[in-house]
Structure 1
Amino acid sequence: MTPPAVEDLLRRLAPQALGALVRRYGHFDAAEDAVQEALLAAATRWPDDGLPDNPRGWLITVASRRLTDLLRTEQARRRREDDVARALPAERWLAPPADRRDPDDDSLVLLFLCCHPALPPAAQIALTLRAVGGLTTAEVARAFLVPEGTMTRRITRAKQRIRDSGVPFALPTGAERQARLDAVRHVLYLTFNEGYASTAGPRLRRVDLSAEAIRLTRMLHRLLPDDPEVTGLLALMLLTDARGPARVGPDGELVTMAEQDRRRWRADQITEGVALLDAVLPRRDVGAYQLQAAIAAVHDEAPSAEQTDWPQIEALYALLLRIADNPVVALNHAVAAAMARGPAVGLDLLAGLDADPRIGDDPRLHAARAHLLERAGDLDAAREAYERAARRSMNLPQQRYLYARAARLADRG
């Protein structure tokens, strides 16, 4: 088994290695295959041999040699051996290529490359999550609520389109950059969410993913400091991630926000996130990420759970609903309304989501209903809802928490 430290390092280096290969030699799909083989070799050898002096250079070298083999095989089939020999001189593969660029530049270029306008938006986001965010195909499939096989085919087609487009490996400018920016922001948002609240697996959080999303969003913010939604997205990530240390108990168990020790929240991230928000909100060009950041700030600045300004949060979610047709936003609005005006109000709003196929069978909907039923005093119905939510959850700590809540209500009954 690969040690966590090596696994985290490989995840961080993978998009940098892929970006380096694509920038130099093109062939996105073949480059990704070569990098995956290099990552497998590193995961096998590094735990026993120790880390090389230059892990990134090691990956690029091994992946480059594999890419050479792949391209030579492909070109041989097409009778282009001479072209390959001229385009890929053998001596360039013998050592890590000299690189005067910041490796982070390649990750950002790769991010925009995956959001190529030749791809439909869903494919842009899926490919970026896979190539830059480091999510597995199964994780990307869960983010889109589709079968893994469907997502595999979607990602494969996306890589083929990029290959066929012949687009250069460079940051887009002007109108082309703006056309890709929505997808870039959305994929960073999804990557962060998967890291902060994992949809499946043995851990509540995947700190590597959320940290990578924040790192890439900081890079994007440095590139586009005047984009209000990029600023809002970075603020949202920082304000949300600030609560991360208190969200997980000593044994990996879920700790709800109402039960968290707020002294463990990261004050520096809250300060930075609020400052970003204060700088951008007066511009009056308010988008979805800024509104979500404002909601996170209200939570973070409350001295205690009891002193949370729920009417303000409800109002902010109502504004967000006007610009975002998102059932999760509607769910959160219902919970905020319940906290501000009573559980009956929230339960009525949740009832309207049952027929929405995007969330009707989602564990979050059943868990929210269970919480509001418990607050309303209907303990039997709350217990059944907690159990329904637990059966549908694929995250083990969350599942254990939901079953424990159900068992506690059964004991009270």
Structure 2
Amino acid sequence: MATSGDLRLVRLLAGLATAVLLGGTACSGPAGGDAAPTGTPSTAGPTAAVGDGDGPPCTVALPASWDAALHAGVVAPQAGETLTVALGLGDGSAFAVSDVPGVRHALVRRHGASAGEDPGSDVVVQDLGLDHPEWQVLGATWDGRHLAYRVDRSYADFEDFALYVWDSQGGRRPVEVAHGERDADGKLMQTPFVDPVLADGWLYWTQTRDADPGRTVVSGYRLADGHVERLARGFSRAPVRFGDLLVRADSAKAAQTSSLRALDLAGHRPAGLPAPLASVRGPYYLAADEDTFAWVGGAQGDEVWVWRAGWPAARLLAAHATGAQFPRVAGDTVVWTGDDATWVGDLRSWSAARLTPSYGGVWADGGPVVTVAFAPQEKGGPSVQALLDTTSVGPLGRAGC
């Protein structure tokens, strides 16, 4: 398990990695930046996939069909607006922060062309206020009715955050569920990133709390009535939902190698894990959906591993994923950010490719839609952002492997 100093470094690097995607113009890429998706759109079909058991992991060039889909999925801001997409949905709609100087700084739901609503009409989820241009919306997750997300209130102080949940059917403002807490000396405590999980009528998260800077607490918030339960105390980071389990990496003592631990979502009791996951040690980051579990591991934190229900063992999806962090499961793919680019690994062809030429951001919420952000082409410029449905483009293939 990481020390408090290690967590500070991880959080600093994480903030830089997510700023392009979820912080608008807060961060710029390398000199010259990244352009929007490049390449001539192609009508050629995707490269044929191999079976799950065929071939070692390999790296391929992003197919033309994927590049064309990124072109087609660009989320265009309105006139005079800077738009920072927090989460893209399957109908082409998105939750995004809309900035219009002197007019608006708000989290909105923007309808897509197939959403059945006027594409020009926004639903304002939360007015973030013109006095707080630095406020960022991160970690967004959607269950079809509720949106949970955190708002980081400072570029420099990662402990200054608030966690919200919004009921799209309730007609009310978002509810603040949690925020950065202070220790016995009144200082905001260092805490792992608070990435919420929505599952079966509950909101779950992990943070350092209860004036105890030495441990983190896994908490649950019942959406129906706001009841809060402290579920586990230890040294864990953000949990993930995997089927009917809430899984986290935790350890008995500080600076001790972590292992995976689970709670039964139905009763919040400790639960066992499938054998291939019970042996995982020291994972850096976790991701999951209903039947797919992924993590960043290896001695250098540069391996992306995946296990699916029914597989006899976990499989290595990427062997040299330098600086891999923030993995997310997106249908039959796993996406992550790295030191050199954002990446996608395909479980259909067992291959990986760059989604962005170099620096960028990527986010997904279990479904097949991925939000991809390209680094600004000039310092302080906007980020080109696109929604990509990974089921519409076919497998990456294994050309050149």
Please say whether Structure 1 and Structure 2 have the same fold, judged by a TM-score greater than 0.5.
no
What TM-score, normalized by structure 1, do the two folds share? 0.25
By relative contact order (CA 8 Å, sep 6+), the higher-ranking structure is: 2
More helix by share: 1
More strand by share: 2
